[in-house]
Structure 1
Amino acid sequence: MLAHDHDSDATSRKFMKRYILGRLVYGMYDRFKRARKYEEWWTEVHYDLWELDKVLTKEELNKYATAVEYEHKNKYFGVFRRNNVFPLAEFPDWVVAIRGTHLLSSTDLKNDLAIVLETLKSSKLIKILKVVVRRLGKDYKYCNVNVTGHSLGAAAGLLVCRRLALKGCLVEGHFFNPPFVALESLARTCAHAVKHALMRVFPADGEKLYERLKNAAWGASSTAFQAVVEPDGKKKAFAEFTTLAEVNWSPYLYVNKHDLICKTFLSHFTGAMHGSIDEDRKMWYSTVTEFSKWFLGKTESFHLLPSAHLVVIETFEERPYRAHKLWNWMVDPQLPYEFKQAKLIPSPHT
């Protein structure tokens, strides 16, 4: 077989895995909407849906009864086991697939807000999801489990897999259009918008005006920030970031360049850190959320990662929200994409 044939086969298998994972997530959307024949999303690619009472122990079902009931009501995710009739090793034995937001669900919208405020960790979704993934890993080995999700589901999956990776339990994650819209990133986006607006209105002095405004705002906020910042917050974030680099956990992030919700991941992984790690805090520490801790309780960043496998597409849409749709990743097997193994800091094992 020629070298390009090997490449063609590898590309085909990658598309097929992406397609299968996407179908499982679509199945969760349609199950929540009670669409007709929603089971076909997974039965046609040879996966079976397992109910939680077949996955969790009786003790876990009792201990997390409230979270289990929450999942039964909202139907966020499904646990899937591969049929024996589908023996290809590239495809995982177990998949946890998590749907994204349904705009008519107030619970979903509350969880979306929690993503921005970095309080998603406190949701019942995260509680039950972590228990399920951990149980699958213990019973069937973590290497045989994949977690996938879209949008809100990608955020939840990233948070859970990140927590497990910090404990040395590495789960392969495939996350479609994962949101990067925390307060820190929104603040930077607003700052860039202000800068460009000033430069358009005042071509000669716009940049100087922006710098003056930025310095004034920073001077006014820095004193207040120092008063509320959690002393150990930065140390904890730094330790977690370096631990993730040491265990070499790299989730697959499927990002559309035109998707306003997830494209910040591309700039996050633009280049490796220069100098010592702690010199570039924005890569591993979300400072703005220190303010919200005083009003909302403990926060947790899921989007600040030292490494990732980036799969990038560029589908131009007249309506920007369409770039966020899961369907973009499934409609065309020949869809051109860029693949990059991005690392902000080198792993000790490489």
Structure 2
Amino acid sequence: MDDKKQRKKEKPTSSRQIFCLSGPLHLTSVDWNNFHDRRTVAASLVQGVYILERDRQENRIDPLAHAPPWWEFFNFQLVHILVDDVDNSIFGAIYEIKFSDFNHNHSAQDYPHYVIAFRGTINKSNTRSRDLKLDFLCARNRLHESSRFQQAMQAVEGIFVVAGNSRIWLTGHSLGSAISLLIGKNMTKMGYNVEAYLFNPPFLSAHIEGIKSEKLKHGIRFTNSVVKAGIAVAIKGRNHRHGNDDPFSLLSAWKPYLFVNPADLICSGYIGYFEHRKHMEEIGAGNIEKIATQNSIVSLLSCSEKRDLEPLHLIPSAHLTINLRHSPNFKHAHGIHQWWDNGFIGLSELHEYNPYVEE
């Protein structure tokens, strides 16, 4: 009788967790020079972190665990898991590629030796409270103060010490992409070059992508840029740094890969952010935008002594990929699964920030 009650309580495992039912089985051979293949592998490794945590919650261990195929299919091995010190949930993983004939088909510089991946929010009782608190910190530009981020940063620094000049990837989804973005910024300032694949990264600003009128959107963005530039000059004045002395400019050589969906309110702001920069240059207002693009009104008006702390979501350069396929709902638009869909259709463009153009 007890067994029957237990079976009734257990919910069937979602097919989304099982690699052979929803994983990218079409990618039987990875071409590491192919951008779409790299996108698929990076997203799958992030999914591996999600399923590691779900396995933990459901007490699934080998051989019943669902997580391993998400990295083993691409010839990676799990070398370390990152566990949050507050709720004991798994929030990250470090993968190392296995050297074999699989790798020897490609140049040693093509594939990553290590990949550090971070999951996003899991809306389950085991993780909901902690993840939502971190989402709130992220929205307040205080993610760097969390123990989860500090653990992640230490782990990445440790890998760079061990791996030396080996090729290392950072990847994450949603909250996990915010952690990866912040780590990537820090590592760049420390002189390390890290390749980053960020899926649905949070853009922490007012959402205007839903406005249908392009003219109105351009007007709002233009006004916002003028206001931000004006406030920045008024507050920072002659102390406003440029070129090599400007922390924002120091990041310009780093070009992370951002993957966004227009129907996702959390990340779609990046589309307008980069489009507006191009538009401002085209109309001869590039000098205004050069100041505005590295500031947010909230951070400028903050009374905190940390006012100069750069907003997490503002980055100088990026490879931006927009999913052009229709998303039926927000859950799909914000989900990780769209990024390894065999029928994926996207638009990719490199946006570069030049800090050395005279103002």
TM bucket by the smaller chain?
0.7 to 0.9
SS at match of 1:76: strand
Counterpart in 2 of 1:83? Answer: 98
Describe the shift of the 1:295–1:320 C-alpha distance in structure 2 as closer, same or farther (beyond 3 A).
farther
Residue 310 (1) aligns with residue 320 (2): yes
On the 8 A contact 1:121/1:300 being kept in 2, the answer is no
In structure 1, distance between residues paired with 2:116 and 2:345: 27
Give the deviation of 1:297 after TM superposition.
8.7
Q: Tell me the amino acid that sits aligned with residue 163 of structure 2.
A: Y
Q: Tell me the amino acid that sits aligned with residue 240 of structure 1.
A: P
Q: Tell me the amino acid that sits aligned with residue 341 of structure 1.
A: L
For the aligned residues, what is the CA RMSD?
A: 3.7
Counterpart in 2 of 1:168? Answer: 191
Residue 239 (1) aligns with residue 239 (2): no
Q: Tell me the amino acid that sits aligned with residue 250 of structure 1.
A: K
In structure 1, distance between residues paired with 2:327 and 2:344: 15
On the 8 A contact 1:148/1:175 being kept in 2, the answer is yes
Give the deviation of 1:295 after TM superposition.
10
In structure 1, distance between residues paired with 2:148 and 2:239: 24
Describe the shift of the 1:106–1:293 C-alpha distance in structure 2 as closer, same or farther (beyond 3 A).
farther
Give the deviation of 1:44 after TM superposition.
2.1
Counterpart in 1 of 2:69? Answer: 40
For 1:210-247, what per-residue CA distance to the aligned partner results, in whole angstroms no more than 9, with x for missing partners? 9xxx99xx8xxx99x999x68899659981111112xx
Of 341, 344, 347, the match for 2:353 = 344
In structure 1, distance between residues paired with 2:33 and 2:255: 22
In structure 1, distance between residues paired with 2:138 and 2:144: 9
Counterpart in 1 of 2:168? Answer: 145
Counterpart in 2 of 1:335? Answer: 344
In structure 2, distance between residues paired with 1:170 and 1:325: 28
Counterpart in 1 of 2:24? Answer: none
In structure 1, distance between residues paired with 2:85 and 2:239: 31
In structure 2, distance between residues paired with 1:22 and 1:10: 15
Give the deviation of 1:24 after TM superposition.
1.1
On the 8 A contact 1:311/1:337 being kept in 2, the answer is yes
Q: Where do 4+ consecutive residues of structure 1 move more than 4 Å?
A: 9-12, 229-238, 275-278, 290-293, 295-300
Q: Tell me the amino acid that sits aligned with residue 16 of structure 1.
A: D
SS at match of 1:25: helix
Residue 19 (1) aligns with residue 32 (2): no
Consecutive unaligned residues of structure 2, counting only runs of 5 or more, are: 1-29, 59-64
Query: RCO higher in 1 or 2 (8 Å CA, sep ≥ 6)?
Result: 1
Aligned length: 296
Counterpart in 2 of 1:100? Answer: 120
Give the deviation of 1:317 after TM superposition.
2.3
Q: Tell me the amino acid that sits aligned with residue 121 of structure 1.
A: H
In structure 1, distance between residues paired with 2:123 and 2:308: 27
SS at match of 1:108: helix
Counterpart in 2 of 1:261? Answer: 266
Deviates more, 1:39-48 or 1:298-307: 298-307
On the 8 A contact 2:261/2:324 being kept in 1, the answer is yes
Higher helix share: 1
On the 8 A contact 2:177/2:201 being kept in 1, the answer is yes
Counterpart in 2 of 1:123? Answer: 146
In structure 1, distance between residues paired with 2:94 and 2:263: 31
In structure 1, distance between residues paired with 2:240 and 2:129: 33
Q: Tell me the amino acid that sits aligned with residue 289 of structure 1.
A: S
For 1:140-181, what per-residue CA distance to the aligned partner results, in whole angstroms no more than 9, with x for missing partners? 13551100000110010001111111222111101111110x
In structure 1, distance between residues paired with 2:83 and 2:320: 33
In structure 1, distance between residues paired with 2:115 and 2:328: 34
Counterpart in 1 of 2:182? Answer: 159
Give the deviation of 1:49 after TM superposition.
0.9
Describe the shift of the 1:343–1:41 C-alpha distance in structure 2 as closer, same or farther (beyond 3 A).
same
On the 8 A contact 2:242/2:355 being kept in 1, the answer is no
SS at match of 2:345: coil
Consecutive unaligned residues of structure 1, counting only runs of 5 or more, are: 1-8, 53-66, 200-206
Deviates more, 1:37-46 or 1:94-103: 37-46
On the 8 A contact 2:324/2:347 being kept in 1, the answer is no
Percentage identity across aligned positions?
Answer: 25
In structure 2, distance between residues paired with 1:154 and 1:41: 18
On the 8 A contact 2:255/2:317 being kept in 1, the answer is yes
SS at match of 2:326: coil
Give the deviation of 1:71 after TM superposition.
7.8
Give the TM-score, by structure 1 length: 0.72
